[in-house]
Amino acid sequence: MRQPVLASKNDKHTRWVKVSHWIITVSFFALVFTGSEMTMVHPRFYWGEVGNDLTPALFELPVSRNYKHGGWEASIPFTEIAGAPISAARTYEIFNQNGWGRSLHFLAGWFLLIPGLFYLIIGILTGHFRNHIWPRAKELSLRLFWTDMLTHLRMQIPEATSGPHYGLLQKLSYVGVIFILIPTLVMTGMTMSPAITAAYPFLLKLFYGAQSARTIHFIASVSLVLFLIVHIVMIVKSGFKNQIRAMTTGK
């Protein structure tokens, strides 16, 4: 097992990192809660511009009574033209809490976006990403990657220090979250807003339609939740008290 690295005072997490970390954490939990509620309302995902209960789904999740429901009256086409849109009335009460869920989801999104932009800009200007997050050229080797992978699989996690001393897997994970997953979440979330796509229609082309954006949004969200679970496990294994202290009081 690797020996813990002693951190100097200058190695501690800076105040702006701590504040943005906890604001983003709280907003992320709110987004997961409201996003789960909205998924329960409509657990079907599509690819393309449009999709509803009467069109084939790319996949469907068994997360509420709305999953693969029946109870439809006969479908009625809008016109007599082949392939015309159809309509049908439900014969049962669906689970529907979309009103407050969407509002709270949108509000929590701002508490992720604004501190996230602050974190990104300050991280670039201060060299935080260059010094602590971005892997150095000498670290990018299959041997080091495999060694770090085996260390984590065997749960041989070194004790936490008071500062950002990250291994290769940690750095790659943070790079993926900061520069890929979170920007994807933000962009696809905007693509689902008719008001935003009316002003910036290129978003619909970028993600192949609003329904495709919702599907990508969901996959990116699940990936972030999996990251969070692993992140919490690593915090516990490397010393929960020291990790929380380093990200709060810094003592």
Residue 27 lies in a domain: yes
Residue 129 Cα distances to 18, 67, 125, 141, angstroms: 15, 43, 9, 20
Residue 145 lies in a domain: yes
Residue 6 lies in a domain: no
Q: Helix, strand, coil % (nearest 5) of the chain?
A: 60, 5, 35
Residue 251 lies in a domain: no
Q: What is the extent of the structural domain holding 231?
A: 15-69+94-246
Residue 83 lies in a domain: no
Could you please report the per-residue DSSP string of 113-130? Answer: HHHHHHHHHHHHHTTHII
Element (H, E) at 25: helix 15-41
Q: How many domains does the chain have?
A: 1
Q: Does the predicted TM-score (pTM) go above 0.75?
A: yes
CA 181 – CA 227 distance, rounded (Å): 10
CA 225 – CA 247 distance, rounded (Å): 20
Residue 86 lies in a domain: no
Tens of pLDDT along the chain (251 residues) come to 344 433 444 457 788 888 888 899 999 999 999 999 999 999 999 999 989 888 889 999 999 888 887 777 777 887 878 777 777 777 777 888 888 889 999 999 999 999 999 989 998 998 989 988 999 888 888 888 898 888 888 887 777 655 567 888 889 999 999 999 999 999 999 999 999 999 999 999 999 999 999 999 999 999 999 999 998 888 888 788 877 777 777 65
CA 204 – CA 209 distance, rounded (Å): 5
Residue 7 lies in a domain: no
Residue 87 lies in a domain: no
